[in-house]
Structure 1
């Protein structure tokens, strides 16, 4: 008999489906009804099936790339059936529960070693894992996640609809060279701040707009934030900050769990700090955008100078805490200005900047 009752997870939704597993000669067939009630079949090729080791009598199998599909089965005769059906495939090696047959001293030693490895993994492996998971995240899911986070956190702000409209109009004139849908929201807040969410949402405080004097300064700010989006810096930073919670969700292939954790912590986005490496990468990408569009790189120098010169205003330093402004970054911008060739006067962009200035009055 090659049919077994199982629980099937498709890797995209957090819900599980009651399903029937049929062991075919060279593949597995999983039959279940989707949420609409339609009968659905999934095929797993034998070489791609991976077995999870665990402490219980629940047999768990995974298949495919991240986020993986999962099958769970409680039928005791499954291991023996698999052995007879696929003699060339090793599904089960030595069970992890065999460790309890060791003597007490060995068990204590193994436990201490496991704890040490877990500690090392948390402090050193988790940041790497978070970055790797972020880089493999589907763009469509990232955009959806960013929208969910945006809806959760924007309630805490007073959106300036007029400034939002003209700033988005301004941004459409610039080719940011990214496949993400860039959507900007301007909020009423005297802090000189701006931050990017995963998937293309950018929040700009009107406090920083009021400190600007040229279109190039705003273009530099937006190009920098778009670069954080393009290179998934926001997503990677959040994954690292919430590593423990996200690690568990990723381990369980629970994408909805990841979205929920991030949505519940949306308000922390305004206070996340980027490393110098990520800031430099965003600066470089933003300057490439400027050169391609023929914009004057002096906009970066002016933006950095405005922020640094506001040292006597504590609130205005908010952007410096979330985007550490080092002397090296300012010097790099100045050097890029010296090497820049001909720049063009963008009349259309200037008019759109004037519209922003009118809204600020």
Structure 2
């Protein structure tokens, strides 16, 4: 393949520019001009990457170089030697703006799709792969932070605690999952009626929520909802999803310390952000299915959800399940579940 082109030769020793004719015969570069006669193997030369519309440069052995405006000739030489493949692609895109715009649109769509489906899926997988030892460490650190900032010792009597612990054992036996479940009682005027599930199976129930409930079935619905969050690993998934791709990659590479270090974010994440709409609806559906199996109705959970919404104006921070989605929508979904409607 012959590639002839005109260029300017610099010997690398002076600033003198010499116009030359260059011919590539398939193996060697033949450079001819006034006082210049060179034969060089193309493999000995380095073709500088393209930079917009600037002149192309071929660096010769010994420090000399050729400069040319013949972009097409240099592209053919690059193709012949396999040099600057990535840069040639960038250069091609720079010269074809419709391609650039199309790729930008594709990139934006890919980014949106990743945030919409990819990152949640990656967070779910990371949550499922997190070792139980790490899960327990995250939960214990989160509980300590909650105790330091938001919670106080419970004022419930021993008899009332025993009744609720027995109720909780019934719930976890029915719902399963194999977690080391534990029910913790706390008081919290700051949070008000509230319940929180930590990833390891620790469920925190506030005295205020116990006082708000009219009977144990309402509390049973709340406990079933919290256990559902544990079963689906919603806390970890929310945590990883909020932290982004960094933690997902770290876990995939075995850096479990990154997950543990995020435990400090979990209490505020649960209290201030709540769970996502999808997680809340999933936990509602799981708790509703449990109530239907046990009692043939989802009314206890419906009732306490409505009572919690009515009392939500009395607490300083967002209370139990007060974020997405709205309470009327959740109650309607529970009613549809009870009626066997999708």
- The TM-score, its normalising length taken from structure 1, stands at 0.55
The answer to whether the 8 A contact 2:153-2:186 is kept is: yes
Identify if the C-alpha distance between structure 1 residues 171 and 158 changes in structure 2 by more than 3 Å, giving closer, same or farther.
Answer: same
Q: Which deviations, in whole Å up to 9, do the C-alpha atoms of 1:209-262 show, x marking residues without a partner?
A: 221111111111110010011111111111111114413523543012221123
Distance in 1 of aligned mates of 2:324 and 2:287: 14
Aligned to 1:133: 126
The answer to whether the 8 A contact 1:161-1:186 is kept is: yes
- CA drift of 1:312 comes to 5.2
The answer to whether the 8 A contact 1:164-1:186 is kept is: no
Which of 159, 165, 177 is the equivalent residue of 1:168? 165
> Could you say what secondary structure the match of 1:308 adopts?
helix
- Segments of 5+ residues of structure 1 without an aligned counterpart are 1-97, 340-361
- CA drift of 1:338 comes to 5.9
- CA drift of 1:299 comes to 0.8
- CA drift of 1:116 comes to 4.6
Q: Check if 1:145 corresponds to 2:138.
A: yes
Aligned to 2:332: 331
Q: Which deviations, in whole Å up to 9, do the C-alpha atoms of 1:16-49 show, x marking residues without a partner?
A: xxxxxxxxxxxxxxxxxxxxxxxxxxxxxxxxxx
Q: Which deviations, in whole Å up to 9, do the C-alpha atoms of 1:251-286 show, x marking residues without a partner?
A: 543012221123455432222332333222212211
Identify if the C-alpha distance between structure 1 residues 266 and 186 changes in structure 2 by more than 3 Å, giving closer, same or farther.
Answer: same
Aligned to 2:288: 287
Aligned to 1:247: 248
Matches within 5 A, 1:246-325: 246-250=247-251, 252-263=253-264, 265-294=266-295, 297-310=298-311, 313=314, 315=316, 318-322=319-323, 324-325=325-326
Distance in 2 of aligned mates of 1:121 and 1:211: 42
Distance in 1 of aligned mates of 2:330 and 2:321: 12
Identify if the C-alpha distance between structure 1 residues 267 and 311 changes in structure 2 by more than 3 Å, giving closer, same or farther.
Answer: closer
Aligned to 1:177: 175
- The TM-score, its normalising length taken from structure 2, stands at 0.58
- CA drift of 1:140 comes to 4.7
The answer to whether the 8 A contact 1:216-1:296 is kept is: no
Distance in 2 of aligned mates of 1:153 and 1:307: 21
Matches within 5 A, 1:1-361: 102=87, 105-106=90-91, 116=107, 123-124=115-116, 125-161=118-154, 163=156, 166=161, 167-174=164-171, 175-178=173-176, 179-190=178-189, 191-250=192-251, 252-263=253-264, 265-294=266-295, 297-310=298-311, 313=314, 315=316, 318-322=319-323, 324-336=325-337
Answer with 1 or 2: which has the greater Rg.
2
Identify if the C-alpha distance between structure 1 residues 163 and 99 changes in structure 2 by more than 3 Å, giving closer, same or farther.
Answer: farther
Cα root mean square deviation, aligned: 3.7
- CA drift of 1:177 comes to 1.6
Identify if the C-alpha distance between structure 1 residues 120 and 303 changes in structure 2 by more than 3 Å, giving closer, same or farther.
Answer: closer
Identify if the C-alpha distance between structure 1 residues 206 and 99 changes in structure 2 by more than 3 Å, giving closer, same or farther.
Answer: farther
Distance in 1 of aligned mates of 2:292 and 2:241: 32
Distance in 2 of aligned mates of 1:107 and 1:316: 55
Aligned to 1:75: none
The answer to whether the 8 A contact 2:309-2:322 is kept is: no
